[in-house]
Amino acid sequence: MNANSYSPKAAQILDVAENHMRKGGFDAISFRDLATAVGVKSASVHYHFPAKADLGQAVVARYRERIMDALGDPMDHRPLASKLKLLFDTYAAALKDGDSVCLCCQLGAEARDLPKDVAAEVERFFKSIVGWTASALSPSLSASKADKLAAHIISALQGAMVLAVATGDGVHLKNTRSLLKDCVEAQIGR
């Protein structure tokens, strides 16, 4: 099930669901609201996604695929700085309108209250993106240090988004980017 295997209507439903979930979490979407937003009835949404957990899982899976595709191969020959810039730009684009965090930041916080399949998909997102970052760092650091620094980078970006949304001030994300850059340079000893 890759991200392009959805019918146009199903993709449209996923788009709306993703936007709503980013702002209010899994409980913020309802079949009726989604149906109205895409111009069908709620029973038709159930046709595409039988249960709410199926919908949630599909939203997260598609999100992960899209992000990971945008990041590309972490082991290719681009310089580390440009990989990290791409990570910051891509991942933090979640804040684009200044009013929503990364989908998995939202869902990650409520992981213990999510349907099992949805929570598993969120966990998979984090393992993917931390793994990508660790791979990108790996030529410059020991495996152990790369893993820790990668997790820290993702953590800090997540938290900065929360702070930005909660205080209504997007500067937090830029601030964290610049401090993370220093942190990475200190670690790789440049």
Partner DNA sequence: AGTGATATACCTATCAGTAGATAGATATTG
Partner DNA sequence: CAATATCTATCTACTGATAGGTATATCACT
In the block, which residue shows the tokens 């991942």?
Answer: 91
57: helix, strand or coil: helix
- Give, as ranges, the residues between 49 and 68 that touch DNA (CB under 7 A): 50-53
From candidates 55, 58, 87, 105, binder to its own copies by CB under 8 A: 105
Q: Note whether 134 binds its own copies by CB under 8 A.
A: no
Determine phi and psi for 49, rounding to 5 degrees: -135, 95
Closest CA relative to residue 35, chosen from 63, 7, 21, 16: 16
Instruction: Report if residue 1 touches DNA, rule: CB under 7 A.
Output: no
Whole-angstrom Cα distance, residue 24 to residue 82? 32
Q: Compose the 65-104 pattern: x for residues touching its own copies by CB under 8 A, - for all others.
A: ----------------------------------xxx--x
Site residues for its own copies, 137-156, by CB under 8 A, read: 148-149, 151-152, 154-156
Angle of CA points 29, 30, 32, to nearest 5°: 140
**Shortest spacing between CB 31 and DNA, in angstroms:** 4
Per CB under 7 A, which region of 17-25, 27-35, 71-79, 123-131 contacts DNA? Answer: 27-35
Stretch that binds DNA, among 33-41, 88-96, 125-133, 159-167 (CB under 7 A): 33-41
24 binds DNA (CB under 7 A): no
# binding residues, DNA (CB under 7 A): 21
Cα distance between residue 89 and residue 86, in whole Å:
5
Binding partner of residue 41 among its own copies, DNA, none, CB cut-off 5 to 8 Å per kind: DNA
Residue 57 partner contact from DNA, its own copies, none using kind-dependent CB cut-offs of 5 to 8 Å: none
**Is the CB of residue 112 less than 8 Å from the CB of residue 96?**
no
For 27-115, where are the alpha helices, taking DSSP H only? Answer: 31-38, 42-48, 52-71, 80-92, 103-109
Residue that the structure tokens 């869902």 belong to: 107
- Would you count residue 115 as binding its own copies (CB under 8 A)? no
How many whole angstroms separate alpha carbon 149 and alpha carbon 65? 23
Residues that bind its own copies (CB under 8 A): 23-25, 27-28, 99-101, 104-113, 119, 122-123, 126-127, 130, 148-149, 151-152, 154-163, 165-168, 172, 175-176, 178-179, 182-183, 186
